[in-house]
Each structure stands twice: as C-alpha cells, then as structure tokens.
C-alpha cells in the first residue's frame, strides 16, 4: 500500500531511513517472542528452589512493577516529522527508587527492556545498593540522526517519561549508544520541566554537571576486578592470559584496556563493524584511539580481519562479551575455548548456553555481578549530588573495588556451599534481599 492511500500514514511524509520506525510491528505485540525476558524468567525459575519460605513471593520477580510506552515525535532537520517508540520499565522498587540505563538501538523492544530492568533489580541487590531495577530505551538507530535530531529526541523522550522518573523515583543512566551528553540533555530537560536543577535525576552525567569522577570507567573496572578475583580461584594468571572481547564501547573498551595494562594479551575484538585478530596481542591504546576516531574497530591497521563467526573459535583464556544479549547460545557455546567468560554485557548468555558452558567446565561470571561496577559508581554519583560534596577519583575507585570484591566473595561462597552456578548464586543473594524487603513492606498502601 502506498503512503498516500494508507489511512494510517502520517500527515507528513517521513525520510526513507526512518520508515522502519513507522512500519515495524509495535513491540508490545511481540510478546510471544520472549527473547531476553524469556531467558530472565528461566533464570528466576532456577533460583526459586533456593528461596525457602520467600519463594511464595517469587511471582513478584516475574512481573514488572510498571511499564511505560511512549510516542516520541520530533521534527527532523528536513522539516518532516518522525515518531519513535520509547520505553521506561520499572521492574521492582521494593528496595528503593528504580535505577538503570537508557538504550538507543534499532532493535530495542519492550520485552528486551523488561528483561534489562529485571536484571537491574537483581544486580542492584547483588551489590546491595539501595535501588530497585529499571531500564529504558528508544527503538532508533541513533547513527542515522544528526546531533540536533538526537538532542530533540532525547529531550522529548525525557519529557514523556518525566511522569515516572525523578531523583527519588527512578534514575536513568547511560547504556548502549547513550553517553554523558545524553544524560546532560536528560538532566536539563527534567530540570526545566520541574522548575529547579535536579542533578540527581540521572547519573553518568558530565563531571561539570554533577557527574562523578570514575563513572565512565566504572563498569569496565568492575569487570576487571571480578575477573581478577575469579582468576585467583581457578589458578589463572592474568599476566600473559589471552583475552577476546565482543563490543569495544564503554564497557568492553575499558575492560580490555585494564586487562592489557595488567599484562594480558587482547588477541581478538569484535564490534558492530567487524572482527579483528592479532596473535601477538593488539595494541589496545592505539585501538581505542582508532575507535574514537572512526567509530569501530574495523579498519585497524595493525591487525588481521577475520570473519565474525570465527571470533568464537579463537584460542583464549578469557572471553568478555560486552555488546548485546543472546550472543552466546547453544549454537556457539560448544566452540568457546575460554576457561572463563566475564559478562560485561547484560544477558549475553542464554540458559541453554549456560548449561553447555558448565558441562565444559567454563566458569561464567554473570552480568548481574560482573558489570555491576557502573551502577555502583552511579550510586556514588547520586549520593554526591544529594550532599553536593564530591569525592576524588582515588576514593571512588577504592570504594568501588571494595564493594565489588566483597559482593563477589559472598556470591562465590554461596555457589560453593549450594553447588550452583555463579549466576544462580547471585540470584539467590539478590532475590532474597529483594523479597525480604517485599515481605517486610507488605502489600497494602
């Protein structure tokens, strides 16, 4: 059907590159394709037998508290109007305000944001920061927008979700394809709409706007910290270890840099643009500069280009997935050579792949503890904003490492004593905390 004869077409034509946002099936109709949310539900089912009497509250974990779908209309630079679909999901707010990032990606769906918000509830409880779990996103390829379009979309989205976010209600932060600038626009929009500067409404802001030193590197630093702790348990020497990284953005780039500085060899890196390999180890600082300049690892001169699929066959000791969900599946888990997988990304391993890796004695450090460094420093940022007293970077990193090591030690011991995976152990610790609060608070207002 042509645009002109379709009664549902927008009054103004839209640019061809945005048509997917108009014609894609609304994501809330895709509920039968559970994807990451289905994986999360399976992870919950694995923890229920370990919850004792709290298991009677477990259904709480399987239902998001609040789901908001918003239409985000903006003027494009060429004068046309485009509509984007945005989401904010608050999975659980028993332990405190919702907390979790905002993702801009062309494949974002409601089911995905539901899963990401639920993993935030588990993660925040695992490191015992006083938050529930939330997440947001817009179904858009931000690489196709100009800076002005991106700003208008971010601001309109912030206004639309403004009814449920706030420094004491739900605090967004960066995730895939969002950054400090995105958070600055969100903070400014929320502040203008409420009539006073509210730095604590988002974290991951520029330091000049009340952001925290160390937040940019925090998730990668947390990945590195738990990786080093786990390596000690399995007798893996970090110096000289071979590492492969999928996703070389905020999380993968910083984790790769810290492992390289500790003497490891980053031998393969994959991102959306392709996969590169160097037997003798990549020059990580030079690769980071290349990504900064070009947007991808692709085209890095001092490396061999290999096929995306052969990434999974590379000989290595540690694999760090740091891109998107469902990357390690039953189809490739049997090929992975690593002794340890450190999940920088959220939800990169499906439950079926978890089982294959466990059978093959590959240790998986799950997202819900391995990438908790980001939200931990977000918590520091929020505390600093409330007190208007800012800490130096050394103090932030010391506190971050202490929290990550202590949380990981508790989880490791639970895994040993209950003879369960580190993922189930993390869920046991976290879900007990969440459900205990749920029980104490009771049900009626």
Ligand X SMILES: NC(=O)C1=CN([C@@H]2O[C@H](COP(=O)(O)OP(=O)(O)OC[C@H]3O[C@@H](n4cnc5c(N)ncnc54)[C@H](O)[C@@H]3O)[C@@H](O)[C@H]2O)C=CC1
Ligand Y SMILES: O=C(O)CCC(=O)C(=O)O
End-to-end CA distance of the chain: 51
Q: Which one-letter DSSP state was computed for residue 28? A: G
- 3-state SS assignment for residue 68: strand
Q: Which of 21, 128, 378, 437 binds ligand Y (CB under 6 A)?
A: 378
Catalytic residues: 135
For residue 109 the two structure tokens come to 């769906």
* Partner that binds at residue 64, options ligand X, ligand Y, none, CB closer than 5 to 8 Å by kind: none
CB-based closest residue to ligand Y: 101
The rounded distance, in Å, linking the Cα atoms of 442 and 437 is 9
Query: Per CB under 6 A, does 374 bind ligand Y?
Result: yes
The rounded distance, in Å, linking the Cα atoms of 200 and 355 is 40
Query: Per CB under 6 A, does 100 bind ligand Y?
Result: yes
CB of 124 to ligand X, least distance (A): 11
For residue 274 the two structure tokens come to 């392709």
* Partner that binds at residue 99, options ligand Y, ligand X, none, CB closer than 5 to 8 Å by kind: ligand Y
Helix pair angle (35-47, 422-441), 10° resolution: 80
Query: Is 402 marked as a binding-site residue?
Result: no
Query: Per CB under 6 A, does 92 bind ligand Y?
Result: no
Length of the chain: 445
Query: Per CB under 6 A, does 346 bind ligand Y?
Result: yes
CB of 107 to ligand Y, least distance (A): 17
Pairing of strands 81-92, 66-75: antiparallel
Rounded to a whole number of angstroms, the CA Rg of the chain reads: 21
> Cβ distance 353 to 333 under 8 Å?
yes
Interacting residues with ligand X (CB under 6 A): 174-177, 219, 246-252, 270-272, 322-324, 344-346, 371, 374
Q: Which of 173, 323, 333, 425 binds ligand Y (CB under 6 A)?
A: 173
* Partner that binds at residue 382, options ligand Y, ligand X, none, CB closer than 5 to 8 Å by kind: none
* Partner that binds at residue 177, options ligand X, ligand Y, none, CB closer than 5 to 8 Å by kind: ligand X
Beta pairing partners, 75: 81
Closer to ligand X by CB, 200 or 374: give it: 374
Cα–Cα nearest to 93, from 117, 69, 126, 68: 117
Number of residues that bind ligand Y (CB under 6 A): 14
Closer to ligand X by CB, 60 or 371: give it: 371
Query: Per CB under 6 A, does 257 bind ligand Y?
Result: no
Query: Is 65 marked as a binding-site residue?
Result: no
CB of 74 to ligand X, least distance (A): 21
* Partner that binds at residue 100, options ligand X, ligand Y, none, CB closer than 5 to 8 Å by kind: ligand Y
Query: Per CB under 6 A, does 177 bind ligand Y?
Result: no
Q: Which residues fall within 8 angstroms of residue 348, CB to CB, at 6 or more apart? A: 246, 321, 323, 324, 325, 326, 327, 328, 367
Q: Which one-letter DSSP state was computed for residue 30? A: G
User: How many CB atoms sit inside 10 A of residue 73's CB?
Assistant: 13
CB-based closest residue to ligand X: 249
The rounded distance, in Å, linking the Cα atoms of 290 and 134 is 33
Give the residues lining the site for ligand Y (CB under 6 A).
99-101, 120, 123, 173, 175, 203-204, 346, 371, 374-375, 378
| Known binding-site positions for NAD(+) | 219, 250
| Known binding-site positions for substrate | 99, 123, 378
């Amino acid at each position: 059907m042509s645009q002109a004869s379709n009664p549902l077409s927008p009054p103004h034509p839209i640019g061809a590159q945005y048509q997917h946002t108009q014609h894609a099936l609304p994501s809330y109709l895709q509920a039968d394709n559970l994807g990451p949310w289905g994986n999360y539900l399976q992870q919950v089912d694995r923890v229920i037998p370990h919850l004792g009497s709290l298991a009677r509250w477990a259904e709480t974990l399987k239902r998001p508290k609040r789901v908001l779908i918003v239409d985000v209309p903006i003027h494009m630079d060429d004068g046309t109007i485009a509509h984007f679909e945005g989401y904010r999901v608050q999975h659980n707010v028993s332990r405190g305000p919702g907390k979790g990032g905002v993702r801009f990606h062309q494949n974002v769906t409601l089911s995905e944001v539901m899963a990401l918000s639920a993993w935030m509830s588990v993660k925040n409880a695992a490191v015992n920061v006083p938050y529930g779990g939330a997440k947001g996103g817009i179904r858009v390829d931000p690489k196709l927008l100009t800076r002005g379009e991106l700003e208008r979309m971010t601001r309109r989205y912030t206004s639309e979700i403004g009814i449920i976010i706030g420094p004491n209600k739900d605090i967004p932060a960066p995730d895939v394809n969002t950054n400090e600038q995105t958070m600055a626009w969100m903070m400014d929009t929320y502040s203008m709409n409420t009539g006073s500067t509210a730095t604590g409404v988002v974290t991951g802001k520029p330091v000049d706007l009340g952001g925290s030193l160390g937040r940019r590197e925090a998730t990668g630093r947390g990945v590195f910290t738990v990786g080093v702790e786990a390596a000690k348990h399995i007798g893996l020497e970090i110096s000289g270890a071979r590492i492969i990284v999928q996703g070389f953005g905020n999380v993968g780039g910083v984790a790769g840099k810290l492992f390289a500085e500790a003497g490891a060899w980053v031998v393969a890196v994959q991102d959306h643009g392709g996969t590169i390999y160097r037997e003798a180890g990549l020059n990580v600082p030079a690769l980071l500069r290349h990504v900064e300049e070009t947007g991808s690892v692709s085209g890095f001169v001092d490396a061999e280009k290999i096929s995306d699929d052969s990434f999974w066959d590379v000989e290595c000791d540690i694999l760090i997935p740091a891109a998107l969900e469902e990357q390690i599946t039953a189809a490739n888990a049997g090929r992975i050579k690593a002794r340890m997988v450190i999940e920088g990304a959220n939800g990169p391993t499906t439950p079926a792949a978890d089982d294959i890796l466990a059978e093959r004695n590959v240790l998986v450090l799950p997202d819900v503890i391995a990438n908790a460094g980001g939200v931990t420093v977000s918590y520091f940022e929020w505390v600093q904003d409330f007190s208007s007293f800012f800490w130096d970077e050394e103090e932030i990193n010391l506190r971050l490492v202490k929290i990550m090591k202590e949380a990981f030690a508790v989880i490791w011991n639970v895994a040993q004593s209950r003879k369960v995976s580190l993922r189930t152990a993390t869920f046991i610790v976290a879900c007990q905390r969440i459900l205990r609060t749920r029980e104490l608070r009771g049900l009626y207002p």
